[in-house]
Structure 1
Amino acid sequence: MTAGLDRYRLEEVIGVGSFATVHRAVDTLLDDTVVVKLLAENHSLNPEVRERFIGEGRSLRKVVGPHVVSVHDIGESPRQQPYLVLEHADRGSLAERVDQLRATGWTAEAEDLLAVARPLAAALDAVHRAQLVHRDLSPRNLLLTSSVPEPNPTLPAPASPRLTEATDRPAKTVTAEERLLLADLGMCKDLALNSGLTVSGGTSGFRPPEQAGPGVVDTRADIWAATALLAWLSEGAQLPSAFSRFLRHGMQAKPARRPQTILAWLAELEDALSPPPEPETRTTPTTPIVPADQPAPPRRWGLLAGIGAALTALALVIGVLVGMSLSDDEPVSSVDGVSISISGPSEVSVGEAATFTAEATGVDSWVWTLPSGSYRTDDREATVTATSPGTTLVVLRAQTPNGQELETRHPVRVVE
């Protein structure tokens, strides 16, 4: 079908939804390919649907960023059908791309997830800075275009230098010659104008718990949906166990237990997909032999860091534990028959190696946070050497089978 709509020549239909039809079109004035989204005639006389459709164009105009579909124009047909003129994405949707890849037996690698997550985080950051919540993230609302992506200064550098080494293979979800675009802001909620209460909405499988019915929705709803999207993308993939913890953290039922910003969410993902650090070499300190007339060299041990630094390092590496730092509650070490505790000395001398043992019931995975700021996963014992006097903490954390976080802290006094 070829038809005219003011300066836009409609060509083939590339999408049909419940409320609108999407056409590839030509802007005859600028001689450019665009997309025209035309509200269905039977809905055009419904004031609520009409306002929501026009509101999508207004929302898009508020958001500035290379990874959000731009709106070029808005108008009305002779039959009183509102239409939006949008940026053309010539490579289809992420849903179509993944369907094609899975037909060949493909499963996602770390680079495939990051190729989606980084531009998605950039898009949502732009949406959230405009005081909007998308509320309908899904694979069909992420589009691909062949235009080369521009560098995004709003995104932080990868959280770990190891990330580059882990992801030097080309991604298949979004290639280096493509740009991912966030589309369909028709469900978008304006935080500046609304009270916070909203009705249910979103796409099944990607709808956060707070959107299942009337309730309060804010930007953390998009963080839940973005995590669900990565869970869908990673189906069948062999990825680090830290990635599973990242998914559980991002899809916590309570918004306060999720990452609180989309950039924090991205940093947590990047670290979860990084290769594990090199294991620490455990050696027994030896006393060097020196001539009798030469003074012994001073011991040079790294200074014990405070617990604050340890918690920060752990939050960047173990995604599932970040939500605990967001709560003001006292740590819980036991619940419903599941418990963790630490046995070991409460006082050691400078230069003395101390061994601490994890006592765990009902869990088979845990994380140590050591005073040096390092962490260890699933080791039954952790050995540290005291290097300076003072008081520090050894921390053990785990999750119950239903996702509740547990934490126990073992104070240690270091004396001369």
Structure 2
Amino acid sequence: MDVIGRYRLQSKIGAGAFATVWRGYDDDLDVDVAVKVLADNWASRADVRERFLSEARLMRRIASDRVVRVFDLGQLPDGRPYFVMDFVDGGSLAEVLSHGPLEPADALWWGADLARAVAALHDEGVVHRDITPANLLLRPSSGLESGGGTHRIVLADLGLAKRAAEASGLTQAVGTPSYMAPEQGRGDGGFDERADVYAVGAVTYALMTGRPPFVASSITDVLARDPDSNPPSLRPLLHDSIGEIDEILARTLAFRVGDRWNRADTLADRLEAEAYRLEQEAPLLAAQRTIFNDVDQVPTTVAQSPTQRRARRRWLYTSLPLLFLLAGTGAWYFVGR
């Protein structure tokens, strides 16, 4: 399969149980695109086909640059539907996480940015239901937004997303267990936007530690959690700089819905405040440490974290006077002789 519609396929981006996503090129518009095609083994299932098309329609209706936008829809000769999206070229948060946990301040900045993206989705009246690092894409930014990072998080894969008004009536347990709110696992329809707030907390915790707060391989594991349990404390990682981070994440990841933050943007405010505090407290050399285990394996633009960029600027500003002094001393020595 080299061509779909007017789009030339270049490489496979990813494949799941229900669909495959290709990187393609639109010669008419002279832009890269992403083409999502329903898997052939599901083509005859009317319910799966309708869910696939519903995802495309929903993504098209959402008027936010924090959600991947759909701009074309079609059908292959064999009858399988496909839809065409903007190509987001910064990779995914899963790729970032594959290189190990981030510096704590960077993890909190990313968590806050994710919360802002989720808040934008909720403003459109939509609950995502499957927020995981693999479904979070990175788009280059101007660097002027909160946190000063080189990339912004964009939400993708809305295959499980629903209008908030419809979510309370859903009775099927869906999602990724380690990032799934407990009420989703019950499958009784009793969940709302706070299920996404939980997932934001789970992703943020994973960015800080390299693993989700409650590792679960099945919905049974999700439901078996002690309702009074909190995620493992981050004090061993942050020591005296823990601040309010444990409390914020414990509330975000509360088993009971009523104990969580009501809004994603409220969570974003708290995470941003803690990220800023950590940056102010962190020694300069610690802030300059690389956020990846092996930076040679990742794009340079992704490796430029908010903390690193600010650390480089602070190093430059503090080093310039010393450099000028050394240069002046050297000139005086040689001229004097």
Q: TM-score, normalised by structure 1?
A: 0.56
- Pick closer, same or farther for the CA change 1:194–1:212 going to 2, 3 Å: closer
Q: Secondary structure of 1:212's match? A: helix
Q: CA deviation at 1:274?
A: 4.7
Q: Which amino acid aligns with 2:173?
A: S
2:268 matched to which residue of 1? 266
1:113 aligned partner, one-letter code: L
Contact kept in structure 2, 1:138 and 1:206, CA below 8 Å: yes
Query: Which of 207, 228, 243 in structure 2 is aligned with 1:233?
Result: 207
Determine the C-alpha separation between the residues in 2 that align with 1:14 and 1:197: 30
Tell me what 1:197 maps to. 170
**More divergent stretch after superposition (18-27 vs 124-133):** 124-133
- Per-residue CA distance 1:289-313 (angstroms, 9 max, x = gap): xxxxxxxxxxxxxxxxxxxxxxxxx
Distance 2:81 2:74 in 1: 6
Paired position in structure 2 for 1:125: 119
Preserved contact between residue 112 and residue 269 of structure 2 (Cα < 8 Å) = no
Q: 3-state SS of the aligned residue for 2:209?
A: coil
Identity fraction in percent? 36
* Match of residue 106 from structure 2: 111
Q: Superposed, which structure 2 residues align to 1:251-400 within 5 Å?
A: 251-275=253-277
* TM-aligned CA distance change 1:195 to 1:94, over 3 Å: closer
Say which SS state the counterpart of residue 178 (structure 2) adopts: coil
Post-superposition Cα deviations, 1:44-65, rounded to whole Å, max 9, x if no partner, equal 1101111111111122122222
Equivalent in the alignment of 1:15: 14
Distance verdict in 2 for CA 1:90–1:275, change over 3 Å: closer
1:148 alignment partner, one of 141, 144, 148: 141
Secondary structure in structure 2 of the residue aligned to 1:192: helix
Query: In the alignment, is residue 24 of structure 1 matched against residue 26 of structure 2?
Result: no
1:319-378 Cα offsets, whole Å, 9 max, x none, are: xxxxxxxxxxxxxxxxxxxxxxxxxxxxxxxxxxxxxxxxxxxxxxxxxxxxxxxxxxxx
CA 1:108/1:196 → structure 2, altered by over 3 Å: closer, same or farther? farther
Shift of 1:198: 2.9
Query: Quick check: 1:240–1:273 contact (8 Å CA) kept in 2?
Result: no
C-alpha contact (below 8 Å) 1:198/1:217 kept by paired residues: no
| Shift in Å, 1:19 | 0.8
Q: 2:66 aligns to what SS in structure 1? A: coil
Number of residue pairs matched by the alignment: 250
Q: Is the Cα–Cα contact under 8 Å of residues 103 and 208 in structure 2 kept in the other structure?
A: yes
| Map of 2:34 onto structure 1 | 35
TM-score (norm 2): 0.69
**Which residue is equivalent to 1:77?**
76
Q: When you count helix as a share of all residues, which structure comes out higher?
A: 2
Q: Any runs of at least 4 consecutive aligned residues in structure 1 with deviations exceeding 4 A, and if so which? A: 149-152
Deviations 1:135-190 (A, max 9, x none): 00000001123x325867xxxxx7xxxxxxxx7xx7xxxx42x2321101101022
Inter-partner Cα distance in structure 2 for 1:194 and 1:121: 19
Q: Are 1:214 and 2:187 counterparts?
A: yes
Paired with 1:197 and 1:19, the residues of 2 have a C-alpha distance of 20
* Structure 1: runs of 5 or more not aligned: 153-157, 159-166, 277-416
- Which string of whole-angstrom CA distances, capped at 9 and with x for unpartnered residues, describes residues 47-90 of structure 1? 11111111111221222222211112111111111111111122
The one-letter code matched in structure 1 to 2:257 is P
Cα 1:40–1:221, aligned 2, differ >3 Å: closer, same or farther? same
Distance 1:268 1:196 in 2: 31
